[in-house]
Amino acid sequence: MNLKTIHNVYFIGIGGIGMSALARYYKGIGKNVAGYDKTETPLTRQLSENGISIHYEDNLDEITTAFLDNSTTLVVYTPAVPSEHQELSYFFSNGFEVKKRSEVLGMITRDTFCFAVAGTHGKTTTSSILAHLLKETGTPLSAFLGGISEDFNSNFLFEGDEYSVVEADEFDRSFLQLSPDVACITSMDADHLDIYGDSSELIKSFMEFAKKLKPDGKLFVRNGLPIKGITYGIEDDSDYCIRNIKIEHGTYIFDLGTPETTIKGVRFSKPGRHNLLNGLVAFAMAIQAGSPPYRLAEALKTFKGVQRRFSYKIKAEDFVFIDDYAHHPTEINAVFDAITEMHPGKRVLAVFQPHLFSRTRDFGDDFAESLAKFDSVLLLEIYPAREEPIEGINADWLLEKINNPNKKLIKKKDLISEIREQNPELLVTMGAGDIGLEVANLKSELEHAN
């Protein structure tokens, strides 16, 4: 089935951040779009407001007739949907073209100059910076993002179809569906061990991804990773390198070295050395589209950020509230380092919601070590997402491992009263589950209190 014969696109799991970006794309090019998801969220409500019909019951009777024509309907699903899902089973059994999200991304980007951002951390921020840089320099692009860009207020940007920016997701080996012209690998820390078994298999998968580049493609690799490519780093011998870092009023000022030149006095306002690296590789990749380096350096200064990626919710002299998607020990460490660099000496309360029973089990000791660094820790119950519970693995189990006297298991309904009682100078909420839905209420209550 090609784009011309597709009239209808039906999404199973349409509320996912990556799926909803594809839904916006197909709606934007004039296709009929509808879908199913388990629960209503702010994201699904936005899609509905854009004219996309969504229902929340796994029921074939809820699907309008047009989408039941297998000759004109493409069905897209996410691997998080269980195999016994009635609607998905129907489409598989009745001759429909049914594809995973990653396969559809591969189809859409095949005829574009494709930028693919891979890595166990940093994909969403890096791809959002890259999309921002390319847009600011007038590049005709489509960008499919894994978060809501604060620059576009969306997870999808359509400025043309010559170039594309996508996240190359290692989960379920999805990124092997792509054939990029330019790619980067930001990190290869062990993760998704429920899929890979061990970290060596994960690394092998990244090696396979590197081979997916087109014949003249370029691969950018964070310096120190065990894979060959054009390197980038901070204060080292990388091909693209940030040096002479200063901080003024919460903004980094630095020199940016490329193989050809050094640009002095570059500014970037997203806290954390990990974000500096994300900005650096986005800059290096954008050069491959022919964008002038000095213009790209100017555009770095205006990047606003991504929702739930070190997002300031309250930033007052006497109280700071930061929200972050961190759901892996390495990411929690990066958040802690950014806080201590930008807000030294402040008394920090961390609220963390673990994501997945398997990830909590696999990295329990590492989570405990990362969380113990904060002055105080509030731990929510594990968010299961696609998983069934694992016997003996729960928030109590993790709490016991955290070597910090100021730790407590808490329910979401008690968060406000506990935060007020502890009265921290800086509050940070972290996790990839539904903790993000609590942030607006927390901000409102805490702003009122302050």
1 located within any domain: no
Q: In a 10 Å sphere around its CB, with 0-12 CB exposed, 13-18 middle and 19+ buried, how is residue 71 labelled?
A: exposed
Dist CA 102 CA 423 (whole Å): 44
CATH of the domain at 170: 3.40.1190.10
For the chain, state the CA radius of gyration.
22
In a domain, 238, yes or no: yes
CA–CA dist 327, 289 (Å, integer): 33
Residues 92 and 116 in one domain: no
What is the chain's length? Answer: 450
Both 228 and 357 in a single domain?
A: no
Q: Is residue 2 part of a domain?
A: no
Tell me the CA distances in angstroms from 306 to 131, 139, 250, 378, one per residue in order: 12, 21, 17, 24
Whether residue 273 is found in the same domain as residue 315: no
**Residue 105 included in any domain:** no
**Boundary (domain end) residue, out of 57, 77, 99:** 99
| Statement to judge: residues 227 and 291 lie in one domain | yes
Whether 413 and 274 map to the same domain: the answer is no
- The CATH number covering residue 378 comes to 3.90.190.20
* Phi, psi (deg, nearest 5) at residue 410: -145, 155
**CA 165 from centroid of its chain's CA atoms:** 13
Q: Which of 193, 34, 43, 166 is nearest to 108 (CA)?
A: 166
Q: What is the pLDDT along the chain (450 residues), one digit of tens a residue?
A: 666 789 999 999 999 888 999 999 999 999 999 999 998 988 999 999 999 999 999 999 999 999 999 999 999 998 888 888 999 999 999 999 999 988 999 999 888 999 999 998 899 999 999 999 999 999 999 999 999 999 999 999 999 989 999 998 876 777 888 889 999 999 887 555 555 556 678 888 889 999 999 999 999 999 999 999 999 999 999 999 999 999 998 899 999 999 999 999 999 999 999 999 999 999 999 999 999 999 999 999 999 999 989 999 999 989 999 999 999 999 999 999 999 999 999 999 999 999 999 999 999 999 999 999 999 999 999 999 878 999 999 999 999 999 999 999 999 999 999 999 999 999 999 999 999 989 999 999 998 765
Residue at which a domain ends, from 251, 277, 301: 301
Q: Phi first, then psi: give them for residue 119, nearest 5 degrees.
A: 145, 150
* Same domain membership, residue 269 and residue 401: no
Question: What is the residue range of 335's domain?
Answer: 311-449
Looking at the structure, do residues 328 and 376 belong to the same domain, yes or no? yes
Co-location of 282 and 158 in the same domain: yes
Please indicate, yes or no, if residue 122 is contained in any of the structural domains: yes
Neighbouring-strand partners of residue 218: 182
The CATH code of the domain that includes 95 is 3.40.50.720
φ, ψ for residue 113, nearest 5 deg: -85, 110
Boundary residue ending a domain (47, 75, 99): 99
| Residue-wise DSSP of 280-302 | HHHHHHHHTTT--HHHHHHHHHT
Calpha distance 100→22 (Å, rounded): 11
Q: Are residues 392 and 361 in the same domain?
A: yes
Asked whether residue 251 falls in the same domain as residue 120, the answer is yes
Q: Is residue 272 part of a domain?
A: yes
In a domain, 426, yes or no: yes
| Whether the Cβ atoms of residue 180 and residue 168 lie closer than 8 Å to each other | yes
Buried b (16+ CB within 10 A) or exposed e, 317-345: eebbbbbbbbbbbbbbbbbbebbeebbee
170 and 206 housed in the same domain: yes
With b meaning 16 or more CB within 10 Å and e meaning fewer, what string describes 173-198? bbbbbbebbbbbbbbbbbbbbeebee
CA dihedral (194, 200, 203, 204) positive or negative: negative
The answer on 134 and 216 residing in a single domain is: yes
